[in-house]
Amino acid sequence: MRLKEINLTLEKGNLLSFIYVLPALLIVLFVQVIPIFYGIFISFFNYDLSRLNITRDFTGLDNYARMIGDSSVWRALFNVIAFTVMAIGGDVLIGTAVSLVLHSISFGVSRILRPIITVPLLVSPIIVGLVWRYMLDPLSGIVYWFLGFFGIDSTIFPGIAGASTALLCVAMAHWWQVAPFVIIVVSAGLVSIPVEYYEAGRIDGANFIQMFFKVTLPHLRNIYMVVMVTAGVDTLKVYDIVFSMTGGGPFDSTLSLTMYAFRRAFVRPEMGYAMAISCLSMAVSFLIFGIAFSRYNQREAREY
């Protein structure tokens, strides 16, 4: 009788749908959910990669209180927020501009250029950082060779050697790698916009700028939201490209939260404090992008 009931449940699809998604749920549980809660658990202890004694090493909120007085934490937080603003802003501007150019030229030319433009996406961020590090070399870098035509040298623009310009240089390397992703998704969005809207705009006498803000931009709103969330979370936890270009210097001007957490975890080592810093990074990501994306989805659901 019990076997018959299970068969009926499977035939109705009530249990079958759950069985289909069970492997994915288990992967998410063991790869994401459990490590996150374990990291939060460790942040309440004075843990240094040795054997954890729950009664002896428990410190409560001391690691979080310690962050308040740690100037390196606040410097790293400022760096990642500034880097996120520069990186996403440049990605969107460059990606949109190139997408509009590719959309306006002939299909044959754009079909050749698109695969070439997407090549940086295939390169590891570590390699990107190393490439741009050599490109920004004041003696033999191609960037300074180009700036030399305008009379700009390393004394005017110190590049990755200057505390005031190093973060901008890292953002430039990020633009080179991530802007092609924006080009791909924005180009797909431009193709989906009905041509009749542009024809109606031309009949009404609208110029290129007016049609961009009245026709193109509203139709790309959903795409920009996806770009901001995916690229934004990635920039807030940036590590590899910064490590290979500047190592967090000079004078911690490019230090990120993940890099500082790595130092505390494996150089000191202070794993509990490093986990607290990581939890701060996760909370900042959620506050900046998680809440905004959630409210955006709710507004879209109400509109439909």
pLDDT in tens, the chain (304 residues): 454 554 545 555 567 777 888 889 999 999 889 988 988 998 998 887 777 777 778 888 999 999 999 999 999 999 999 999 999 999 999 999 999 888 888 777 888 888 888 889 889 999 999 999 999 988 888 999 999 888 888 889 999 989 999 999 999 999 999 999 999 899 888 888 888 888 888 888 888 888 888 888 888 888 888 888 888 888 888 999 999 999 898 889 999 999 999 989 888 888 899 999 999 998 888 888 877 777 776 776 666 6
Tokens 């607290």 correspond to 276
**Rounded CA gap, 75 and 236, in Å?**
13
Cβ–Cβ < 8 Å for 281, 236: yes
Burial class from Cβ neighbours inside 10 Å (0-12, 13-18, 19+) for residue 287 reads: exposed
Domain ranges of the chain: 70-128+166-303
Cβ–Cβ < 8 Å for 182, 227: yes
Side-chain half-sphere exposure of 225, counting CA atoms within 13 A:
15
**Rounded CA gap, 85 and 200, in Å?**
35
- At 69 the three-state DSSP class reads coil
Classify domain 70-128+166-303 by CATH number: 1.10.3720.10
